Chains A and B, each alone.
Chain A
Amino acid sequence: MRSSLIRQILILAALALAPGVGEAIYFRDKISWQSSIPPSELVTVDQARTWGDNAIWVDARPDEEFARDHVPGALSLNEDRWNELLPQFLAAWSPGKKVVVYCSSLSCNASREVARRLRKEAQLPDVFMLEGGWEAWLKKNR
C-alpha cells in the first residue's frame, strides 16, 4: 500500500516537472530576460546622480518615447536604429565616463540589451542599467 502511494506521488511529481523541463530545453540558449541581472551592473537613480558630468545617460526606449520626454542630456540609443545612433553616442563617450542605460520601467528589457551590446560589441567598461528605469527617475525628479 505504502509503495503504491509513493509510486503515485513520484508519478505526479514527474508529471509536474515535465512542462518545466520542456521549457528549459526549448529555451536552452539562455534568453537574457530569464537570468537575473548581477547587482554590479545595476545603479540607482541616487547613485547615478552623484556621478554628475562623469556619466552619460542613454535612453534605450523607442524614438517616440524619447521624443516625448527623457532624462535631461540623455542620448537616444535603441536597437531599432542601432547602427545610426551608436556613432552619435560614441562621439560623446570618452575613457573614464560611466554609462547609465535606462528603459521604461523595472520590467522592460531594452536597457539590458543595449547595455549588453555596449559591453560586448563596443567593449566599453562601466556600463550600468538604471534600476527601475525611466519610471524610477520620474519618481525622484518630478
Chain B
Amino acid sequence: MKTPIVAFALSIIFSLSAHAELKWEQTALELHPTPADKQAIGHFKYQNAGKTPVHFKSVHASCGCTTAQTQKDEVPPGGSGEITATFNIGDRTGTQVKTVTVETDEAPNSKTVLTLKTIIPQQLEINPTFVFWKQGDKPDPKTITVKVGKDFTVKHIKVTSSSPDFQAKVEEKGNGEFKIDVQPQETKNLVASTLTIQPEDSQKVFYATARITNSPVVQ
C-alpha cells in the first residue's frame, strides 16, 4: 500500500479544477440593502482561464423576483465579465436567498449555481398584523405589539385608523417596544380599517388590519 491515497485524491481534484475554464470570483454574495432600497444587485465576476471560448447557454433565476443578465454570450480565452443578478425587494422581509443557475458549453462543469443572499433590514416588527372580532363579539380592545429592529432607533410611532369604526391607542413601553390597543366602536356591522403605523422621522409606512368578520362557517 505504497500509493499515497491523499496525493492521488488531490491530484484528481487539481486535474478537474484545471479542466474547468470559467473561474468565478465568488459564487455566493451577501447583500445588505438600506430600508429605502427597492432592489438589491449582485455582481458575479468571472474569467475564462481556459484556452477555448466559453458560451453561455442559459441563465435562469430561481424566482420571478430575480432577474439575471449576462454582458455577452461568448467569453474568449482570458476574457472576463460578470453576471448581474437583480433581486426586487418588493414587500419582502427578513433573509432572502435566491439562486441563479448558469449553464455554459464547457465540460464537465457546465452548470454553476450562483447564490444571492439578501438581508432586508426590518425597521419595525408588528405582531400580529391582523386583529378581528366576530360579528356580535364584545368590542374589547385587542393588542398589536410593535418592536423596533435591532439596527434602528425609533422613539415614537404614529398610528392612524382609516375608519372611525376603530380606535387605536399607542402606548410606549420603552426599550424599542410599543403597544397598540385597537378597539371597534361596536361589532354589529362588517366593517374594516387599515391601521397606518409610521415611525417618527421616517418615510417608511407599515400596516395592520382590523376587521369585524362573519361568524365561523358551520361545517
Contacts and interface: CB of A to CB of B under 8 A. Distances in A.
Contact of A12 (B6, B127, B207): B6
Contact of B92 (A1, A54, A79): A79
B63 A96 contact: no
A81 B63 contact: no
B9 A12 contact: yes
B92 A123 contact: no
B129 interface: yes
Chain B interface size band reads 35 or more
A17 interface: no
Contacts of A124: 130
Interface string B1-39: 100111001000000000000000000100000000000
A80 B91 contact: yes
Nearest to A110: B63
B28 A26 contact: yes
B192 A65 contact: no
B129 A80 contact: no
Contact of B128 (A79, A109, A123): A123
B62 interface: yes
B160 interface: no
Interface stretch (A27-35, A40-48, A134-142): A27-35
Contact of B90 (A11, A54, A82, A122): A82
Given A81-B90, A94-B217, A109-B62, A121 B128 contact: yes
B217 A9 contact: no
Contact of B97 (A31, A61, A87, A110): A31
Contacts of B91: 79-84
Contacts of B134: 95
A67 interface: no
A87 B194 contact: yes
Contacts of B214: 94-95
A5 interface: yes
Nearest to B98: A109
Given A12-B6, A62-B64, A80-B88, A54 B219 contact: yes
Interface in B33-71: 62-65
Interface string B88-110: 10111101010000000000000
Interface residues of A, number: 43
Nearest to B194: A87
Contacts of B86: none
B219 A1 contact: no
B213 interface: yes
Given A79-B91, A91-B211, 11 more contacts: A8-B4, A26-B28, A81-B90, A87-B207, A94-B214, A95-B134, A95-B215, A96-B219, A121-B128, A122-B129, A124-B130
For the complex of A and B, the 3 pairs showing the least CB-CB separation, nearest first, are A82-B91, A96-B216, A80-B90
Interface of A: 1, 4-5, 8-9, 11-12, 15, 26-27, 29, 31, 33, 54, 61-62, 64-65, 78-84, 86-87, 90-91, 93-97, 108-110, 113, 117, 121-124
22 contacts: A8-B5, A54-B217, A54-B219, A61-B64, A62-B64, A79-B65, A79-B90, A83-B91, A86-B129, A86-B209, A87-B194, A91-B211, A94-B215, A95-B134, A110-B63, A117-B93, A121-B126, A121-B128, A122-B128, A122-B129, A123-B128, A124-B130
